[in-house]
């Protein structure tokens, strides 16, 4: 087996991950990385691009060499000089500035010149649409995505080109993606995480009923708006990458896991069957990726957070992730079972449609919130009982202190009446207000817990 004297370059490691190298060179690198931790880490770093198209960019030295981190962090508005001239001169869209960069391409804020509508304009990496058939496919996919009109899916308005820059025009969403949310807040409360996944499942069901599979479901492609609505990004784009990869005869000897065209997705959230052959997947692959996303939202980490790209892909196919309740001990067993079923290795053992996922989560949330309400009511009852007992003890103490059995009956009766008046006065002044405050606080805590927010 050939050995390497020097470390492969970053670009060559990208090409290796995509299966673009000749067989002899690929075998040599495979042997090298099995003994070289730095090169394994480089491959892992390259895999953190927002899709495998990011690896294509590295391997092909495309023009958009500087990219955002995996969390899709947005950039400040770019200067006009950074906007490619063909875009800045587009007759229908005024490009206002750069929002961010990613593996699929650059995203700009733009405005329709006639309608004066502000939109997001996603310019596809030119390396992904070099071939005529890739361009045709891009326009077909965007046309199909434009038919999706749903509250949980980012709207696609248009597709066009400026010179050799092909782009799609999308709804501009006011929010952040779930990857950024987790980076800022850590693992989410149970009800909040489940509601986000439920909304995404509803959006996927809508697309599924119209014959579409996303193929790249992950936290980065799930935006949460200021009012808590989840919107799925990039419908229609995930199928572009296979077209940009060289013909299969160039990589015929490579492993099935890295053969060109076999992988499309993100290694932390990809389904086992998609890692094997992206062209043959169905909606159950999206359900797996959605389950991996649920795992991430609840635990604050991906299912397999160590190793190279190849190691992660093999883990998705062969290894069970650490049980969620071993990572986070407050999770109900029922929810752990739901996530496990969504991430079953065999597609036939998963939920068969996103609707099943959404319905299951609705039922779970009903029971989960009911338990919280009952617990809160129990706590409120405990407070009420405690206050009542304290009031009764206070009354007995006051009466015992003022009672003298040797007094005449008329004086005793007057003493009792006086004591009762004092008790009522104490109740009005102290016990009732304090009880009301405690009740209101308990109600507020219950509502916050039920809505899934931390107190």
pTM over 0.85: no
More confident residue, 133 or 196: 196
Number of domains composing the chain: 4
- In this structure, what CATH number is given to the domain that contains residue 136? 3.30.200.20
Q: Are 165 and 87 in contact (CB under 8 A)?
A: yes
Domain ends where: 105, 140, 171? Answer: 171
High-pLDDT (> 90) share of the chain, %: 33
**Tens digit of each residue's pLDDT (9 = 90 or more) over 144-194:** 788 889 999 998 888 888 888 888 899 998 899 999 999 999 999 999 999
Which pairs from 114-118 meet CB under 8 Å and 24+ separation?
Answer: 118/172
Q: Which residue from 209, 243, 237, 341 is spatially nearest to 287, judged by alpha carbons?
A: 341
User: In this structure, are 356 and 383 located in the same domain?
Assistant: no
More confident residue, 372 or 279: 279
Q: Quick one: 254 and 328 in the same domain? A: yes
54 and 108 inside one domain? no
Reported as a pLDDT band with limits 50, 70 and 90, residue 436 is: confident
**What local confidence, expressed as pLDDT, does residue 235 receive?**
81
Exactly one of 195, 216, 268, 286 is catalytic; name it.
Answer: 216
How many helices and strands (H and E) does the chain possess? 17, 8
Taking residues 309-316, what's their average pLDDT? 86
Do residue 290 and residue 414 come from a single domain? Answer: no
Known catalytic residue at 305: no
227 pLDDT more than 50: yes
Range of the domain at 441: 372-450
166 plus 179 within the same structural domain: no
> Does residue 13 carry a pLDDT above 80?
no
**Per-residue pLDDT at 205 exceeds 80:** yes
Which of 318, 335, 367 represents a domain boundary (last residue)? 367
Q: Is the pLDDT of residue 44 over 60?
A: no
- Mean per-residue pLDDT for 110-117? 91
Q: How far apart are CA 211 and CA 345, in angstroms?
A: 23
Same domain, yes or no: 279 and 317:
yes
Asked, for residue 19, whether it belongs to a domain, the answer is: yes
Please provide the distance, in angstroms rounded to a whole number, between the alpha carbons at the two ends of the chain.
Answer: 60
Judgement on whether residues 165 and 56 belong to the same structural domain of the protein: no
Q: What's the CA gap between 308 and 168, in Å, rounded?
A: 33
Largest CA distance in the chain: 115
Which residue would you say has higher pLDDT here, 388 or 53? 388
Q: What's the whole-number average pLDDT of the chain?
A: 75
**pLDDT for residue 449:** 54
Please indicate, yes or no, if residue 153 is contained in any of the structural domains. yes
Look at 50-64, 72-86, 115-129, 347-361 and tell me which has the smallest mean pLDDT.
50-64
């Amino acid at each position: 087996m050939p050995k390497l004297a020097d470390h492969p370059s970053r670009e060559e490691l990208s090409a290796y991950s995509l299966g673009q190298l000749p067989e002899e060179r690929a075998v040599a690198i495979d042997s090298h990385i099995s003994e070289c931790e730095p090169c394994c880490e480089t491959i892992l770093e390259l895999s953190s691009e927002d899709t495998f198209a990011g690896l294509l960019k590295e391997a092909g030295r495309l023009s958009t060499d500087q990219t955002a981190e995996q969390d899709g962090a947005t950039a400040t508005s770019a200067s006009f000089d950074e906007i490619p001239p063909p875009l800045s001169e587009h007759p229908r869209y005024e490009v206002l500035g750069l929002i961010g960069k990613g593996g699929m391409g650059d995203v700009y804020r733009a405005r329709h010149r006639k309608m004066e509508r502000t939109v997001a304009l996603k310019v596809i990496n030119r390396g992904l649409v070099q071939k005529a058939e890739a361009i045709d496919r891009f326009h077909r996919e965007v046309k199909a995505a434009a038919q999706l009109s749903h509250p949980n899916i980012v709207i696609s308005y248009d597709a066009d080109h400026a010179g050799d820059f092909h782009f799609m025009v999308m709804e501009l969403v006011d929010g952040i993606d779930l990857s950024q949310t987790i980076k800022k807040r850590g693992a989410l409360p149970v009800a909040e995480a489940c509601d986000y996944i439920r909304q995404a499942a509803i959006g996927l069901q809508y697309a599924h009923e119209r014959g579409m599979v996303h193929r790249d479901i992950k936290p980065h492609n799930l935006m949460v708006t200021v009012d808590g609505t989840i919107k799925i990004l990039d419908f229609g784009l995930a199928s572009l990458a296979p077209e940009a990869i060289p013909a299969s005869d160039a990589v015929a000897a490579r492993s099935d896991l890295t053969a060109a065209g076999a992988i499309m997705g993100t290694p932390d959230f990809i389904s086992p069957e998609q890692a094997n052959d992206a062209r043959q997947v169905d909606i159950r692959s999206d359900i797996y990726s959605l389950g991996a996303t649920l795992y991430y939202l609840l635990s604050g980490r991906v299912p397999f957070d160590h190793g190279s790209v190849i190691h992660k892909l093999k883990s998705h196919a062969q290894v069970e992730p650490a049980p969620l309740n071993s990572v986070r001990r407050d999770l109900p067993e029922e929810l752990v079972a739901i996530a496990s079923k969504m991430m079953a290795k065999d597609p036939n053992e998963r939920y068969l449609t996103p609707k099943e996922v959404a319905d299951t989560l609705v039922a779970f949330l009903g029971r989960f919130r009911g338990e919280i309400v009952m617990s809160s009511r129990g706590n409120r009852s405990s407070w009420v009982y405690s206050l009542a007992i304290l009031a009764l003890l206070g009354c007995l103490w006051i009466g015992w202190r003022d009672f003298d059995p040797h007094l005449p009956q008329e004086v005793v009766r007057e003493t009792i009446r006086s004591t009762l008046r004092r008790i009522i006065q104490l109740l009005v002044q102290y016990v009732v207000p304090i009880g009301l405050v405690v009740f209101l606080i308990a109600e507020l805590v219950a509502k916050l817990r039920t809505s899934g927010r931390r107190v």
